Structure 1
Amino acid sequence: MTDVASATAELLADRPELEDALRSILAIDDDGPWTFDDVPLDSGAFGEIVSTGIVESVGDDTYRLRDPTAVRAVLDGASTDSGTDEPQSQSFDLGAVRHRLRTPDPVVTGVLAGLLLFVVVMRTAFSWSAVFRSEHVVLLGNDPYFYRFWLDELTRRPATLGSLPAGMRSHDVFMIASLWVGTLLLGGTQQAVSTVLTWYPVLAAVTVGGLLYWIATVSFGDRRVGFAAVAIYAVTPILAYRSALGFGDHHAFDYLLVTITVAGLVALVSESAAWRTATLRRATGVAAMVLGVAGQVHAWRGGPLLLAPLAVYITASVLFDRRAARDPLRANAWFLGALGIASVVALLAHGGLGWSPLFRAVTPLLIFGGSLVAVGIGVLAQRLELRARTVFGAEVIGGIVVAGLVWVSVPAVRNAIDEGLAYFVRTGSTGITETVSILSPELGVVVTPFYYLGATFVFGLVGLAGVSYRLVDVDRPAWLVLGAYGWTFFAAALVQLRFASQFGLLCAVFGGVVFVYLLSAVDLIEPISGVERTREATAENGSVSLPPLRTVALIAVVFLFIGGFGAFQTAVDTGDLAVEDSTYESSLAIDDYATATNTTWPENYVLSQWSWNRAYNYYVNGQTESYTYARNNYREFLGATEPGSWYDRLQEKPVGYIVVEPTVNDPFPASMQARLWSNWGSATETTAGLGHYRAIHATDDRKVYELVPGAELTWTGAPTETRTVQTTLTVGNETVVYERRVTAGDDGQYSVRVPYPGSYEIGSDQMTVSEAAVRNGESISV
């Protein structure tokens, strides 16, 4: 080991937090002499490095490393003799791994742990009582019951990753399979399913918070930005309530995979070792990108859209490489390698396990191919010394050519694009909240972003714009990654609000920069030095010290002022996701009734408002794969005025029970809504009564009807005379008089169908109707 190598090793043993500063010096030194202002060090640390002999002065306040190869070898966990012209690929050793796993700074650990605990509180405090109810675990929202259905199925019908049910393999298969593994670790029971779906969003949220801290710290060279990013992330409403305790939907899983992908890419671009050198950071970055990219296309049906920022990034990266006169192939080699491996993994999952349609599995490969084209253009531009503007034009033309070839040669992708465009057009007019723009005039151009993102929207957008502006003058690949993701997801959120949450992840990072800048502007803390530097300046291994208690209190007050609305909105939005007491109680009442009457699937299907249809059906029959029937029929049924034809139509499903809720406006008197909610199925002066709808449960805001054949009552009387048929019944806490009005035909024959057993009054006569007569559709003569 050379003297420089020994000095470097001794320095890192005493001051391990200087590792990333040395890596930055290595990168700067490659371009020639440099000054103190170019490196991410204070004067004390810089003087300490100079005193070791690692750095030497070359005149005019400029410096060079005495032996860059030796310094790089020590940093990468190996030792070499100086004098090697070309850095060689290095292997990992256990000492380097142990070095990276050294004891962390207690202040950093404590602050980060406290912030992650804050994330947990924001995800659990507002939903705990709504989730844990007596002996049941009640998930938030409607869609989590889809995943509950499939995980329950896997507990009843054990399978392998290659023999999953077809309906699962074409859906969010990677997410479901991952959660299934979690249930197996907890015993593989339905209770384990409930536990996993309840707690996985919180665990994912904590992991995302930790990754955002690392991303922000590495990208901006300041742990305070990382701390601020986690705090802002904790109170961003759309991120908080979509990863709340009990909200076992796909969102939290998507956020995790997106963040893993960003972290992996940041790790690759922030590594300063020679491009041929395999370091632990690069290996970790490749693994993260492979997991994130391949995972996203199989974890959610819209997963391929979440890879769009990668195409934006590589396009911009080649332009920045050209501006810096940097070899685009070397600069992007690890990115291309990671993307290529991810493409293979995604296709293997499709071909070997039957996961996901082809268009989803092939998306990483298409981006990889496009990236090769972009890098190839960059290499050619470097040799021909073309301007960046010309390179951009060539990239656009190349992208069009590649897209055209894919369109012509891959029908699966062409069909998927056609269906995707049709979906966006169709859902854009449905009124579903997540399908509108984040700047939707219907919801409010100003109000909507604050409602879903809080102050994070303003801080994040300002930070995104500011950092993007700085990129004009600086060479910061990590910023380029964040900018590509930020602008892409912002554009996507302008199309549909569903992407505002992914945009919120980037807003948390950029918002952290703005928050720290704001605190420094009012002299509460020191300014961010990393933002003003022209090269990467990481501080991920540096130590921090807590400011005075008064300063901490003032920072907390400033944060409360900025993030308070987000915290309040998180509580409100989480509450909106909770299954209402009346919905929960009604579903249990239906289940008890179905059990008592020995009604099983499919005769016990519950028709309700589609947005809660899965929740109702889970507790009654467990069949929650789809709410399509409810979405297509429920609203039309309530507005219908022909109960007979609708009874026949509902029997074809078959529908067992119908849940009716009150409306804000008075319904049309002849509609099923008015007949069932206001009239209890009885006749009025203007509308006929109903004979197939039997009320079985009622609260102040829910009424449940069972569809029954009904008993037919017949008797003879005076022609064309109208008689009243009625009975008294108790539903819930309500005592109701069910009444029918019947007019005899010209032959004096009366006929009326009734849905309730019991004693009926027909004028002065009495008639008893049995339960069997109602259920079997029997005819009873007086």
Structure 2
Amino acid sequence: MEMKNPFKDRGRMLSLVYGILVALTFTIALYIRCLPKSSVFGGGFVRFGGNDPWYNMRIVENTLSHFPHRINFDAYTYFPHGQYHPFAFLFDQILAFIIWVAGLGAPSQHLAEVIGAYYPAVLGALTVIPVYIIGKEIYNRNVGILSAALLAVLPGQFLSRSLLGFTDHHVMETLLATWVIAFFVITVKSAQNQVTLDEILNREWARLRKPVLYSTLTGIMLGSYILAWKGGALYVLVMVVYALIQAVVDHMRGRDTAWLVAVTVPAFLVVSFMITPFLHPSTIDMRTLLAVLVSIIGVIGVVGISLILRSKQIERAAYPFTLIISAGLGLFVFSIIAPDTYHSMTGMFSIFLPGAGALTVAEIHPMTMDEAWTWFTTSFFIAFGGIFWAGYNVARRFRAEELLFVVWSIIMLLACRVPIINGGQNRFAAYYAINVALLTGFLLWKFIEFGALSDEREPVKERTKRRHKQEERESLGLKRYINLDLILISIIIFAVVFYPPLFTPRTGALAYAKFSGGPSDDWYYSLMWMRNNTPDVATDGFNYSTLYEDIPRGEDYPYPPNAYGIMSWWDYGHWITRIAHRIPIANPFQAGIGGPYQGNRPGACVFFITRNETRANEVMDALGGRYVISDFMMADAWNAVYNKFGAMTVWADDTGGYYGRMMTENGTYRTVLTRKYYSTMIARLHILDGRGLGDAIEPLRHYRLIHESRSLMPIEVEGQPVRFVKIFEYVKGANLIVTPGFGSNATNATVSVEIMTNQGRYFNYTQTARLSEDGKFHFTLPYSTEGPLPGETRFDTMPTGPYLLEVGGVVREVHITERDVLEGKTLELSL
């Protein structure tokens, strides 16, 4: 039997050619996402990007220690409580499985980190496949390949969240959400005008097989998406809103709406079955399942109302009003019957309206126009043309898949930015990148059609001839592309659409992708120093790798007596957990921040912004804090590097009075920092080293600098350079009581000592005391002059000699032991 030559079959040849193009697009996307290789692997450690990727790798490490089990509750964060982490499990579980298999059941840490670093890059590159399918199914393969190519090179949120080393669930969210739409588009195409109520009731599988199959695949992807991100009900909303609008369109046109049940209900049922076994506060909560079940009822209700009105031959225009009244009545009854559940579920829409404190989180604030240009360049604006053109097509032809495309795109745009009310979250710009690529790809193909191929435009065809003409049109795009018109159009397209996202200085994909972010060497090695030089909190039954048991909500984890917390700003909590193997008080889940936005509880914002050391001590005592680790950005009110100080003041609801104006010699004014700023704990610690500032700001008595990093910042205060990262220890301090000599009339006494840091920097720590009512001078001294004790902090920043006590011209040396400092012992000295 003669073998058939696939190259003589036009359809197979086209499939092969476009398959190669998709593979090439995947390769380009992967290449760009692996550009930060030297940044990730070029140092002394694998530098994962951002903050959350470090916690994902912490979960993966813990899972590999107990494979296949994972922690839901983590006692190594949010001291002294512990916390159910909010990550859904699929992203980390699949990664742990891949590493476990690659390591033959016993993978090394290096293997785990290498695979973990490449994981998001591969997932991001794979996203071009469902993008191609969506473009192909809604329009044609040319739109699909143009869209996939643009997505491969777009900078912005999608690129940053799919870079090598950014091992976070966002990239899997985007990939799975795109597959949801890809399968749903096919489902919708196969059912509109093909499935009726009678066929559903009579179970005519010949007509129902394809819609139900693809609806099931949609459900599998949607269920996986929700299991990768607990907020995945967002795409349930997309499907329900589309079904509602499609039902209104079909009803107003006198068409059967029952097919919408066939395309949505199987998907939602599959989702329900998938997520029910994993209902857990840290994975999927009951609100998500309720949202899916309510969606099933809602779609059936929308279709049912349409069927009733049609059977009664009621005016079609009554349908949307009936839906509005029914929905309003249903919500009202729901709010009366189950008010807590009602408020809980409506609270899920808070992603569109983040609160004041949450707006300080980089990924939560609404997308600005500057960000839109940086992340999408020209394609952001071209995409609007795509929305209008696709909307025009919907109004003209009412194709269900194109209506889905428009509804989906508008919802994702609103998720990034809600006009007027300043809502939305810019994190959804990673999702909207898919829509921008498709909308732009669609408009580009129209440009090509009306330009170089204008004489070969496809006329409107009957459905029975559409496939043949589609292949003919795509073949035309391959055979006749080598002409002057197309070369000119290709140059224009590259210059306008592809060049800006690729080559824009600093923000273009090729420039931006070279750096992975994550902790600097200063942070990493400071945390490793903390890990090796501070008391280990691990015990036989409690350590970094423990598979912690879940504890009742509202209860604190029973920590061993030697456990303590690390005070830092919430951004750095996951680094502290994974690198230092210590327990942060605050973390990037926005836990432990405290202040007015968290029930006026003690926390990081209260500690760092307070101007009263006693109040700061109360916070540390309440939260079991022993060390404070800060960086320059936390104190950077100058905005010389990056200002995180402002975020602290927002969380503390104390934003005014830190800046003033000073007249210069030439009569102009310049902005200066006020005493209020220098009085905050973060400034007194990181900028002033706890040493005070003249007579205006007293030195700290219970905090001592024990280590600082190497890098110098572009700020000096009183001739002292400022290092990037500093570690302080909170101590009781030695209580020195000095009795002046007989006949002394001194009313003031000073104690000072020279401190040398591990970087060879010197500064003087000085305390001044007034004569108290008991006729004595009282000091609380945080530095030991005699060195560390075994089992305690092995500090490498310490006095160069004894304290010098000066009272009325009399100078005495004072030696303070480490035990005196740690136990708060009282030393009495008579002159």
Please give the range of the TM-score, normalised by the shorter of the 2 chains: 0.7 to 0.9
Shift of 1:202: 1.6
1:635 alignment partner in structure 2: 605
Determine the C-alpha separation between the residues in 1 that align with 2:594 and 2:618: 19
2:656 alignment partner in structure 1: none
Aligned length: 678
Structure 1 vs Structure 2: percent identity of aligned residues? 16
The residue identity in structure 2 corresponding to 1:635 is C
> Conserved in 1, the CA contact under 8 Å of 2:734 and 2:780?
yes
1:27 alignment partner in structure 2: none
Shift of 1:535: 6.1
Q: Does 1:463 align with 2:473?
A: no
> Conserved in 2, the CA contact under 8 Å of 1:475 and 1:534?
no
Per residue, is there more helix in 1 or in 2? 1
More deviation in 235-244 or 342-351? 342-351
Per-residue deviation, residues 16-36 of structure 1 (Å, max 9, x unmatched): 665xxxxxxxxxxxxxxxxxx
2:344 alignment partner in structure 1: 416
Shift of 1:103: 8.1
Alignment match of 1:260 (pick from 176, 179, 204): 179
1:607 alignment partner in structure 2: 567
Q: Secondary structure at the match of 1:471?
A: helix
> Conserved in 1, the CA contact under 8 Å of 2:18 and 2:145?
no
1:478 alignment partner in structure 2: 401
Determine the C-alpha separation between the residues in 2 that align with 1:528 and 1:487: 32
2:293 alignment partner in structure 1: 365
1:578 alignment partner in structure 2: 517
Per-residue deviation, residues 32-76 of structure 1 (Å, max 9, x unmatched): xxxxxxxxxxxxxxxxxxxxxxxxxxxxxxxxxxxxxxxxxxxxx
More deviation in 551-560 or 331-340? 551-560
Q: Does 1:148 align with 2:57?
A: yes
Q: Does 1:727 align with 2:771?
A: no
After TM superposition, the score normalised by the length of structure 2 is 0.73
The residue identity in structure 1 corresponding to 2:772 is G
Determine the C-alpha separation between the residues in 2 that align with 1:558 and 1:640: 56
> Conserved in 1, the CA contact under 8 Å of 2:55 and 2:578?
no
Determine the C-alpha separation between the residues in 2 that align with 1:722 and 1:286: 83
Determine the C-alpha separation between the residues in 1 that align with 2:231 and 2:691: 48
The residue identity in structure 2 corresponding to 1:512 is G
2:97 alignment partner in structure 1: 181
Per-residue deviation, residues 279-334 of structure 1 (Å, max 9, x unmatched): 99656623431122223333323221232111111112223434565432246524
Alignment match of 1:545 (pick from 472, 475, 478): 478
1:246 alignment partner in structure 2: 165
* Unmatched runs of 5 consecutive residues or more in structure 1: 1-9, 19-101
Shift of 1:650: 0.9
Per-residue deviation, residues 53-109 of structure 1 (Å, max 9, x unmatched): xxxxxxxxxxxxxxxxxxxxxxxxxxxxxxxxxxxxxxxxxxxxxxxxx78744323
Q: Secondary structure at the match of 1:613?
A: helix
- Aligned CA distance change for structure 1 residues 651 and 129 (closer, same or farther; 3 Å): farther
More deviation in 151-160 or 533-542? 533-542
After TM superposition, the score normalised by the length of structure 1 is 0.77
2:496 alignment partner in structure 1: 561
2:776 alignment partner in structure 1: 749
- Aligned CA distance change for structure 1 residues 457 and 778 (closer, same or farther; 3 Å): same
- Aligned CA distance change for structure 1 residues 170 and 247 (closer, same or farther; 3 Å): closer
Determine the C-alpha separation between the residues in 1 that align with 2:770 and 2:433: 65
Shift of 1:464: 1.4
> Conserved in 2, the CA contact under 8 Å of 1:381 and 1:391?
yes
Q: Secondary structure at the match of 1:695?
A: strand
Shift of 1:529: 5.2
The residue identity in structure 1 corresponding to 2:30 is V
Determine the C-alpha separation between the residues in 2 that align with 1:104 and 1:600: 63
Q: Which residues of 2 match residues 78-157 of structure 1 at below 5 A?
A: 105-125=15-35, 127-157=36-66
1:78 alignment partner in structure 2: none
Determine the C-alpha separation between the residues in 2 that align with 1:777 and 1:303: 53
Per-residue deviation, residues 355-405 of structure 1 (Å, max 9, x unmatched): 522111222221111111122233334445556533333333343344445
- Aligned CA distance change for structure 1 residues 343 and 15 (closer, same or farther; 3 Å): farther
Q: Which residues of 2 match residues 434-513 of structure 1 at below 5 A?
A: 434-438=363-367, 443=368, 446-493=369-416, 494=418, 495-497=423-425, 498-513=427-442
Determine the C-alpha separation between the residues in 1 that align with 2:232 and 2:382: 27
More deviation in 244-253 or 557-566? 557-566
Alignment match of 1:704 (pick from 721, 727, 732): 727
Q: Secondary structure at the match of 2:219?
A: helix
The residue identity in structure 2 corresponding to 1:742 is A
- Aligned CA distance change for structure 1 residues 719 and 424 (closer, same or farther; 3 Å): farther
1:83 alignment partner in structure 2: none
> Conserved in 1, the CA contact under 8 Å of 2:25 and 2:148?
no
2:690 alignment partner in structure 1: 681
2:794 alignment partner in structure 1: none
Per-residue deviation, residues 218-269 of structure 1 (Å, max 9, x unmatched): 1102324433343245314121112222222221121122111101111212
Shift of 1:676: 2.0
Alignment match of 1:595 (pick from 514, 520, 532): 532
Shift of 1:620: 1.1
Determine the C-alpha separation between the residues in 1 that align with 2:303 and 2:765: 77
- Aligned CA distance change for structure 1 residues 622 and 298 (closer, same or farther; 3 Å): farther
The residue identity in structure 2 corresponding to 1:181 is F
> Conserved in 2, the CA contact under 8 Å of 1:298 and 1:355?
yes
> Conserved in 1, the CA contact under 8 Å of 2:627 and 2:728?
yes
* Unmatched runs of 5 consecutive residues or more in structure 2: 75-82, 196-204, 539-561, 596-602, 639-672, 713-723, 786-801
- Aligned CA distance change for structure 1 residues 424 and 327 (closer, same or farther; 3 Å): closer
Per-residue deviation, residues 508-537 of structure 1 (Å, max 9, x unmatched): 1111111222344453x5689579668695
Determine the C-alpha separation between the residues in 1 that align with 2:47 and 2:564: 20
Determine the C-alpha separation between the residues in 2 that align with 1:762 and 1:575: 55
Per-residue deviation, residues 133-159 of structure 1 (Å, max 9, x unmatched): 534222211222332333333233445
More deviation in 674-683 or 552-561? 552-561
Determine the C-alpha separation between the residues in 2 that align with 1:528 and 1:344: 49
The residue identity in structure 1 corresponding to 2:636 is T
2:214 alignment partner in structure 1: 285
Shift of 1:557: 6.0
> Conserved in 1, the CA contact under 8 Å of 2:594 and 2:605?
yes
The residue identity in structure 2 corresponding to 1:151 is V
